[in-house]
Amino acid sequence: MQKVLSSMRKAIEKYNLIQNGDKIAVGVSGGKDSMVLLKALSDFKKFNLYNYELYAVTIDIYSNEVDYSALKNYCESLDVPLIIEKTDIKHIVFDIRKEKNPCSLCAKMRRGALNTVCNRLGCNKLALAHHLQDVVTTFFMSLIFEGRLSTMLPISYMSKSNITLIRPLYLTDEKKIINASKNMPILKSKCPANDDSKRKEIKEFVARIEKEFPLSKKRIETAILSPESYNLLNNIKNK
């Protein structure tokens, strides 16, 4: 966990993610990433660098199909209030809409539900557990499927909900998260599309590149995270 805290602190300070007085809702799915994020933010409070409140928010898309008792006990051990928001997202996406590519719609609906809970709690920030490999994967998805150079940001203001979205694990390598998640009560995903998604395909594609070209991992991350690397068309002068 120490390595996660170190990289998280770097992201918080580099991107100015947290200020005194923040009320932060952490989106907690029960997976390794969000569980580690919740623990890291809980531990980070003990450093007394920032004074902020924490809430764990779980969007239940399965309509009571999941036992959240272990998650409740985990949040109690961290002294973090847990809010479980019941929704019909799975029913709408898979049964009513019968989406062939359900991830995008599901993500939008879950984000909307998270924003609603944030407003109800009076939270000004929503923390999501996307890590460095998610940033890289999103970049390649935008490049391959949308024809543009883009990825998720470490911080962004959502004007419609008046909430600032932060990603404290933005600079954290997934391997550190995996190591930190050992002995945590991780919930297994019941999503029907969990093993069949474009994001999973691209993540595996990037892993193959990194395996064949070991130095590419660091260089890809540097190219995405360093503004000075954005040199496309910079040498073309208007005549």
Residues 122-132 pLDDT 10s: 999 999 999 99
Residue carrying structure tokens 């909900």 = 161
pLDDT at position 24 is 98
92 phi/psi in degrees, rounded to 5: -70, -45
User: What pLDDT band is residue 189 in, cutting at 50, 70 and 90?
Assistant: confident
On whether the 2-228 domain is CATH 3.40.50.620, my answer is yes
Q: Looking at 62-71, 102-111, 192-201, which range is the least confident one? A: 192-201
Query: What span, in angstroms and rounded, lies between the C-alpha atoms of 25 and 128?
Result: 9
Q: What is the DSSP string of the chain?
A: -HHHHHHHHHHHHHHT---TT-EEEEE--SSHHHHHHHHHHHHHHTTTSS--EEEEEEEE-SSS-S--HHHHHHHHHHT--EEEEE--HHIIIIIIS--SSTHHHHHHHHHHHHHHHHHHHT-SEEE----HHHHHHHHHHIIIIISS-----SEEEETTTTEEEE-TTTT--HHHHHHHTTTS-PPPP--TTTTS-HHHHHHHHHHHHHHHSTTHHHHHHHHHH-GGG--TTTT----
Going from N- to C-terminal start, the domains of the chain cover 2-228
Determine the average pLDDT of the residues in 171-179: 96
CA distances from 162 to 26, 154, 156 (A): 16, 17, 11
pLDDT at position 149 is 87
Query: What span, in angstroms and rounded, lies between the C-alpha atoms of 117 and 140?
Result: 31
Determine the average pLDDT of the residues in 153-171: 95
The b/e string for 8-37 (b: 16+ C-beta within 10 A; e otherwise) is bbebbeebebbeeebebbbbbbbbbbbbbb
Give the β-pairing of 155-158 and 163-166.
Answer: antiparallel
Residue 210 has pLDDT above 70, yes or no: yes
User: What pLDDT band is residue 239 in, cutting at 50, 70 and 90?
Assistant: very low
pTM: 0.90
Return the structure tokens found at 160: 């419609």
